[in-house]
C-alpha cells in the first residue's frame, strides 16, 4: 500500500496561521497527517477532528495527545458536535475534501473500478444507501441527473437508460469491476484512446450522491464560518471543480469573510514528484472579519 502523504501540508499550516493556544478543527481526519502536523504546533491549544469512517476512529486511537479529540461523524454535524464538547468559538478549520487515499486503496469499500468489490461507496458503511441501492431504486431521470450534475457526464441519459434496462432484466452488475466494464462498453469508442477511464465520472457522481457530499460541504462550511472568532481562518483543499466552486463562492459571497488566496494554491513540482495525487488539489483560504 502507498504511503499516505498529506496533500499541501506546508501550505495548509501556513494559511491556518496556527496559534499554539488556539482551538482548531480538522474536518476530514482521513489518515491523520494534517491532524498530527497541527498538533505538533499546539501548546495549550486544542484540536477536534471529524471523520464519518469507522476505520478512521481506529487510526485516531493511535494518537495519544492531550489536546486531541476525535469525533466519528460527518462534518455537516460540525456545530452540534462542538456544542456537545462545550466549544463556542474556534481559531481555524481545515477541510481536505473527497475520498481519502486509504478509502480508495481499500478495494472492499467499492470506491474504485480497479478491483472487484460490492458497489458500496459509503464513507460510513453502517449508514445510508449504498451505490447499488441507488442504482436499483432511482428513476431513470434521477440517475441521469446524478451522472450529469455530479459527474459532468455528457452521456448521462444514455447511461441511465441502460441501467434501468439492465435492472428490469435482472442483469444489473453488483460489483465495481463489472459495473465499470458495463459503463466502459457503453462509452468506449473503438480506435480512440481515452485520457481517463470511461467510468471515472460515473463513479465520482455515484460517490457524491451516496454521501450527499456537496450539500454536506455547504452545511459544514456555513457552520464553520459561524464558529470562527475574529481573524479565525478556514482552509479548504478540493480535488474537483464541484467542490472547488462551492468553496470559492462561499468564501467570496459570505460577508463575514475576507478571502486570503486570490487564486487557488496548487502543489509545487517537488510535491507532485513525491505525491502525484496532489496534481488536482486546490487550496483556498479565508479569514473571519471583525464583527
Q: How many domains does the chain have?
A: 2
| Same domain as 232, residue 93 | yes
The angle that helices 156-169 and 140-151 make with each other, rounded to 10 degrees, is 140
Question: Does residue 3 belong to any structural domain of this protein?
Answer: no
Task: Answer yes or no: do 112 and 250 share one domain.
Answer: no
CATH number at residue 191: 1.10.150.170
pLDDT of 259 strictly over 50: yes
39 in Cβ contact with 142 (< 8 Å): no
Higher pLDDT pick, 143 / 105: 143
Residue 190 has a pLDDT of 61
Regarding whether 234 and 140 lie in a shared domain, the answer is no
Backbone angles phi, psi at 201, to 5 degrees: -70, -35
Residues 43 and 70 in one domain: yes
pLDDT of 104 higher than 60: no
- At 30, which CATH number? 3.40.50.150
Specify whether the CB–CB gap between 79 and 72 falls below 8 A.
no
Q: Which residue has the cell 470559492?
A: 248
Residue after which a domain boundary falls, among 195, 211, 227:
211
Single residue among 211, 229, 260 that ends a domain in this structure? 211
**Alpha-carbon torsion, ordered 67, 68, 74, 78, to 10 deg:** 0
DSSP three-state, residue 143: helix
Closest CA to 23 of 39, 47, 1: 47
Span 20-59, pLDDT tens digits: 999 999 999 988 999 999 999 999 999 999 998 888 898 9
Q: 51 lies in a domain?
A: yes
In a domain, 1, yes or no: no
Residues 163-196: pLDDT tens digits? 999 999 999 999 999 999 999 999 876 655 666 7
* pLDDT of res. 53: 87
Does residue 153 sit in the same domain as residue 280? no
Q: What is the DSSP string of 168-235?
A: HHT----BHHHHHHHHHHHH--TT---SS-TTHHHHHHHHHHHHTHHHHHHHHHHHHHHHEEEEEEEE
- Whether residue 134 sits in one domain with residue 92: no
What is the pLDDT averaged over residues 270-288? 92
4 within a domain of the structure (yes/no): no
Instruction: With respect to residue 284, please indicate whether it lies within any of the assigned structural domains.
Output: yes
Q: Where does a domain end: 164, 188, 211? A: 211
Rounded to whole angstroms, the Cα distance separating 84 from 153 reads 41
How many helical (H) and strand (E) elements, i.e. helices and strands, does the chain have? 13, 7
pLDDT tens digits along 69-98: 999 999 999 899 999 999 999 999 999 997
- Residue 201 lies in domain: 107-211
Average pLDDT over residues 15-22: 97
Considering the domain architecture, whether residues 143 and 66 belong to the same structural domain is answered as no
Amino acid at each position: 500500500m502507498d504511503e499516505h502523504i498529506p496533500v499541501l501540508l506546508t501550505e495548509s499550516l501556513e494559511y491556518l496561521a496556527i496559534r499554539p493556544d488556539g482551538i482548531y478543527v480538522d474536518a476530514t481526519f482521513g489518515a491523520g497527517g494534517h491532524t498530527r502536523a497541527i498538533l505538533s504546533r499546539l501548546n495549550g491549544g486544542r484540536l477536534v477532528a471529524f471523520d464519518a469512517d469507522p476505520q478512521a476512529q481506529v487510526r485516531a486511537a493511535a494518537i495519544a495527545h492531550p489536546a486531541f479529540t476525535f469525533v466519528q461523524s460527518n462534518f455537516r454535524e460540525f456545530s452540534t458536535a462542538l456544542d456537545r464538547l462545550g466549544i463556542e468559538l474556534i481559531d481555524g478549520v481545515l477541510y481536505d475534501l473527497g475520498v481519502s487515499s486509504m478509502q480508495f486503496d481499500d478495494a472492499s469499500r467499492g470506491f474504485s473500478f480497479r478491483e472487484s468489490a460490492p458497489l458500496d461507496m459509503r464513507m460510513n458503511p453502517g449508514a445510508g444507501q449504498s451505490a447499488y441501492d441507488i442504482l436499483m431504486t432511482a428513476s431513470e431521470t434521477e440517475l441521469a441527473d446524478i451522472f450529469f450534475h455530479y459527474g459532468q457526464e455528457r452521456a448521462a441519459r444514455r447511461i441511465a437508460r441502460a441501467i434501468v434496462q439492465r435492472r428490469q432484466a435482472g442483469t444489473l452488475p453488483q460489483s465495481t469491476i463489472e459495473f465499470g466494464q458495463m459503463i466502459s462498453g457503453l462509452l468506449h469508442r473503438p480506435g480512440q484512446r481515452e485520457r481517463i477511464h470511461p467510468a471515472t465520472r460515473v463513479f465520482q457522481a455515484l460517490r457524491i450522491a451516496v454521501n450527499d457530499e456537496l450539500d454536506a460541504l455547504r452545511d459544514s462550511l456555513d457552520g464553520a464560518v459561524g464558529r470562527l472568532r475574529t481573524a479565525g481562518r478556514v482552509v479548504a483543499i478540493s480535488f474537483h471543480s464541484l467542490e472547488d466552486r462551492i468553496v470559492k463562492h462561499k468564501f467570496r459571497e459570505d460577508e463575514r469573510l475576507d478571502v486570503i488566496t486570490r487564486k487557488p494554491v496548487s502543489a509545487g513540482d517537488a510535491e507532485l514528484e513525491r505525491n502525484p495525487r496532489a496534481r488536482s488539489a486546490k487550496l483556498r483560504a479565508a479569514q473571519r472579519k471583525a464583527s
